[in-house]
Amino acid sequence: MTKKYQWGCPYGCHRVIDPEGGLPQGAWKIDNSPEIRENETLIDVATLNIDAASFKQILSQCDPDADDATKEEQVASRIMDIVSQRGKMHNPVTGSGGMLLGKIREFGPKVEGRDGAEVGDRICTLVSLSLTPLNITRIKKVHLDKDQVDVDGTAVLFETGVFSVLPGDMDEKLALAVLDVAGAPIQTDRLVKPGDTVFILGAGGKSGLMCASVAAKNAERMGKVIGLAHSDRSAARLKQLGACDIVLQGDARKAMAMRKQLLEANDGKPADVTINCVSIPGTEMASILCTRDGGKIYFFSMATSFTAAALGAEGVGADIELIIGNGYAKGHAEYALDLVRNDNKLRSILEGMFLQ
């Protein structure tokens, strides 16, 4: 007997439970049942790549004196609580989610074979977990140093949800980490022009490292790339990459100190383009005070308060273009993967971060 599928909204509105009439990303709760509609795709989930801001916030709620095993249990418990309450991995504090790695189990007939994919293909979703129906039956392992969580469960991808079939020339966990921030390097490519001075906050993390690699190529010899790292370890990674002309170390939450540090390192001049990849709140004003009038700031971090950025810029009379970090751009997945394929130093550093 042929299975009958119900109609589904392309944007997933039929899954919204609370509030009625909303869209999945902004909803408090969605239906995470694995029974798919005609235009949905069912995925067997293997790993969640939790958004860095979200993971840090969850980790901050753990007992600071606990050992790693206990912290893993506490993080796992919090993730299970969020998903059971909301039907998705949508951190109610940060408002962010992440993305997932899994295997296609079933296509609805309307989307069968979409983008050349087949049942059984291993994929990474390129839409946020904050809108993805997710049902976790078991958390197998929490990777505290990678923001990744291995699980058993299912997820549903809507008709408009994009994904990438995993490449055959790259480890799955590395591809997952790269694709999680695929929007950042391609947007950097669009923003940075020859001769620009580029300031990257959070430059020692995965998105920051990728943005630094792109910025160095685009700014060329007449430009300059200045990277800010917080920890000794992230500063060491940034120096190893060799993409930055200057590596600074400091706390991006201290706006005036950050401005002083940048101006001293850059002959008294602010940046033309600032890219914020910091995964903690409170770094908006450092970005603004370090950018020249008429310059641009790309807030990739989901820890950003866009209210604080807009009103903060207004409050200090900064005529700066503020750009929201849209995680999607056409061709962003292949762009990010090619960047890592073609930059041996970058690939080596990321492999050290996610494959050890």
- What is the residue extent of each domain of the chain? 13-166, 183-354
pLDDT at 328 over 60: yes
Provide the whole-model pTM: 0.91
In this prediction, residue 70 has a pLDDT band, given cuts at 50, 70 and 90, of: very high
Give the separation between CA 314 and CA 119, rounded to whole angstroms.
Answer: 51
Quickly list H helices, 87-182: 172-180
Burial of 356 from C-beta contacts in 10 A (0-12 / 13-18 / 19+): exposed
Write down the pLDDT at residue 326. 85
pLDDT in tens, 170-199: 999 999 999 999 999 999 999 999 999 999
Q: What values do phi and psi take at 36, rounded to 5?
A: -90, 160
| 10 neighbors 39 (Cβ within 8 angstroms) | yes
**Residue 1: pLDDT band by 50, 70, 90 thresholds?**
low
On average, the pLDDT of the chain sits at: 96
Spatial contact of 237 and 349, defined as CB atoms under 8 Å apart: yes
Residue 115 pLDDT grade (very low, low, confident, very high; cuts 50, 70, 90): confident
How far is the C-alpha of 204 from the C-alpha of 215, rounded, in Å? Answer: 14
| CA–CA distance, 82 with 90 (Å, rounded to integer) | 7
The reported pLDDT for the residue numbered 329 is: 93
Does residue 258 carry a pLDDT above 60?
Answer: yes
pLDDT tier at 297, thresholds 50, 70, 90? very high
Residue 85: band (very low, low, confident or very high) from pLDDT cuts 50, 70, 90: very high
Amino acid at 226: I
42: nearest Cα among 108, 136, 86, 87: 108
Q: Which CATH architecture has domain 183-354?
A: 3-Layer(aba) Sandwich (3.40)
In angstroms, the CA 198 to CA 219 distance is: 8
Q: What span, in angstroms and rounded, lies between the C-alpha atoms of 8 and 40?
A: 8
pLDDT beyond 70 at 203: yes
Q: Which amino acid is located at 136 in the chain?
A: I
pLDDT at 325: 87
Q: How many CB atoms lie within 10 A of CB 72?
A: 18
What pLDDT score was predicted for residue 356? Answer: 79
Mean pLDDT of 46-50: 96
Q: In what order do the strands lie in the sheet with 98-107?
A: 134-143, 148-157, 41-50, 98-107, 122-125, 163-165
Angle between helices 206-219 and 183-191 (to 10 degrees): 20
**What residues contact 263, with CB distance under 8 A and at least 6 apart?**
269, 270
% of the chain with per-residue pLDDT over 70: 99
Peptide bond into 19 cis (omega under 30): yes
